Amino acid sequence: MPHLAAVGPSDGLARAGEERLAGEESARGAVRSERRKEILRQRREELGLSQEDLAARLRISVRAYGNWERGLVKEWTDRKLLALAEALEMSERQCFWLFRVMVDRDPPPTWRASDENRLPEDPAQRDYLCDYAALMEAVPYPSFLVDHRWDVALTNSAFDQLFQTVRPHPTALPDDNFLRFVLFHPDAAAVLEDHEPAWCVPLLAQFAAALAEAPEDEGLCSIRQEVARDPFMEAAYRYGVPHWLSKSGPEAAEQDGAVRTVRHPDPRWGLVRCRMVAETSRMLDEMGLTRITLILSGPQGVPTGPGRGGAAVTHPPQGARLRAVPSLED
């Protein structure tokens, strides 16, 4: 029997219609998920590249790229998609369809003017970073490259593992900008123990020094604006940092050699003491990059730690010493 348009169909018909639409939406979602996986694999194979090759271009670990290709990504950000478009040598039209398939929207209008995944233009520097990525991947400790704005240029698998439980965030992911992560991400305190005194205050002091050296730097000014919008961080920046420096001295803000504590996601490790080692090389210095490695001390009773793909981390045996330092018996 027909119904009045103003009244609409019966509840049963409405439910049936909703279930049909839900089924169709689920089917479309499954098709789109498979299409997302295929578009990356097919384009990579068209270029004759392996997953290792593409991971090197993206300056991420092979395991991380494998997750990208399998669709195991927390959030497809503009940065990730633009990096993929460049690494896969996509045209403007291909980049458009990449965004459409992955996130159902157009790429940002200024995508060609982006920092192109922060890769240097010099081919020699690009090649150096690709090889440096392999070097970092061989290190069992969390390690990452940052510039003077704390923008992260490269991470290794141990770094990804340490921060694997961190949820998506618009601007404060640990592999995007480490300073923003420490200051603004709600999950930072879950990984970085003694978050405020041991991590926020020293980084704010380093940030203040960097901003004083480059007051016109757009990236640093943007972070300063974010700090100003956060009442707690603004108070720490304006009053807490000067007071802390007056009591502790400027050397307390140095990251190289600083000892901190992190909470590792592996329950065998739990709270772990780590020493920060900051270093650079001639080539990295020319690119304005510094490598920071978190040397984790193994917990009591656990002889191995988290390496890449579960590989064991070996620690020096008791009684081991540096060859350059004579023992008491010598």
pTM: 0.60
Q: How confident is the model at residue 74 (pLDDT cuts 50, 70, 90)?
A: confident
- Which pair of structure tokens corresponds to residue 127? 């090649």
- Which pair of structure tokens corresponds to residue 73? 């990504």
pLDDT at 330 over 70: no
* φ and ψ of 299, to 5 deg: -70, 160
pLDDT at 93 over 90: no
- pLDDT per residue over 248-282, tens digit each? 998 889 999 999 999 999 888 889 999 999 999 99
- pLDDT per residue over 159-215, tens digit each? 988 998 888 776 688 888 999 999 999 999 999 999 999 999 999 999 999 999 999
What is the arrangement of strands in the sheet containing 152-155, beginning at the earlier edge strand? 152-155, 143-146, 290-296, 271-279, 259-263
pLDDT at 320 over 70: no
The reported pLDDT for the residue numbered 42 is 82
Contact criterion met (CB below 8 Å) for 94 and 25: no
**Of 237 and 94, more confident:** 237
